[in-house]
Amino acid sequence: MCMLLLSVAVTSVLGQDSSRSSTVTLGVGGSGGGYGGPAFTGRYEYRFFKYLAGEAGVDTTLPSVFSYQYVPIFSISSGTFPTTIYSSQTGYTYFPFQNRDRVTMLPFGIKGILPLANGRVELFLGAGGAYVWSSRRFSAVSAWREQTSIGGRVALDRHRRFWVGTNWRFYGDLGNLSNRYVTDYNWYTGTADVGFRFGR
């Protein structure tokens, strides 16, 4: 009974600070992991209370990656056509090819929000999980990851409907944070964001 009364009291106090609003945010920026590249983000945030929100979305990055293929070794002979020179073992060698990967991440979690300047400025810190997969056929990444985010935003109008800000998000595998193959395990994105808020 005491726990029930305590829960009702806490909910009542938090409910007084509830914003009950939704924010849709789009962002463009860059990513780290592999050789880096552009990043595009879209997120939906639901404000449960003044200082707490739930968040989900999608991040897409296009990093540069290198693949290696077997190719024959050629040299120019005395004639007009190249002659294939075969090595003593395979007759082929590795040759690097640079191309673009596409890594898609679906983050979800909670976000702590600190309103400042009468609610016109907000700082936030978030944490949760994400599902990540890669388009690279030769080294496909498809797994669950942990994610954290930090950032801030400023309202452009007095009704606090339109917002601009920045967001930095890190995706990692706690078991491979020190792995040198960062493309396969750990990613981070930094974006400039614009958002629109519904509700209060």
- When mean pLDDT is compared across 26-40, 57-71, 123-137, 155-169, the lowest value belongs to 57-71
57 and 139 in a common domain? yes
Mean local confidence (pLDDT), 26-33: 89
Q: Which of 65-79, 101-115, 136-150 has the highest mean pLDDT?
A: 101-115
Q: Could you tell me if 123 and 90 lie in one domain?
A: no
Could you give the C-alpha distances from 85 to 69, 80, 94, 97, in angstroms and in order?
Answer: 17, 15, 14, 21
Task: Give pLDDT, residue 138.
Answer: 45
Query: Region 21-49: what's the mean pLDDT?
Result: 91
Residue 8, domain member (yes or no) = no
Residues 144 and 79 in one domain: no
Residue 123 has pLDDT above 60, yes or no: yes
Classify residue 3: in a domain, yes or no: no
Range of the domain at 30: 17-63+101-199
State the total domains in the chain: 2
Q: Which amino acid is at 62?
A: L
- Compute the Cα dihedral for 43, 44, 46, 47 and give only its sign: positive
Among residues 98, 119, 145, the one where a domain terminates is: 98
Integer angstrom CA distances of residue 142 from 10, 16, 42, 56, 92 = 40, 42, 20, 18, 32
Tell me the sheet residues that pair with 42.
26, 58
Q: Positive or negative CA dihedral for 54, 56, 62, 68?
A: positive
> Span 167-196, mean pLDDT?
76
Same domain for 107 and 70, yes or no, is no
- The DSSP letter of residue 81 is S
CB burial class (10 A; 0-12, 13-18, 19+) of residue 86? exposed
48 and 129 share a domain? Answer: yes
Residue 114: is its pLDDT beyond 90? Answer: yes
Residue 6 maps to a domain: no
In a domain, 7, yes or no: no
Q: Are residues 48 and 72 in the same domain?
A: no
149 or 97: which leads in pLDDT: 149
94 lies in the same domain as 108: no
Q: What is the mean pLDDT of residues 97-124?
A: 89
In this structure, what CATH number is given to the domain that contains residue 167?
2.40.160.20
In a domain, 2, yes or no: no
Residue 12 has pLDDT above 50, yes or no: no
Quick one: pLDDT at residue 7? 41
- The verdict on residue 10 lying in a domain is no
Q: Which residues pair with 92 in a beta bridge?
A: 72
Task: Compute the average pLDDT of residues 76-97.
Answer: 49
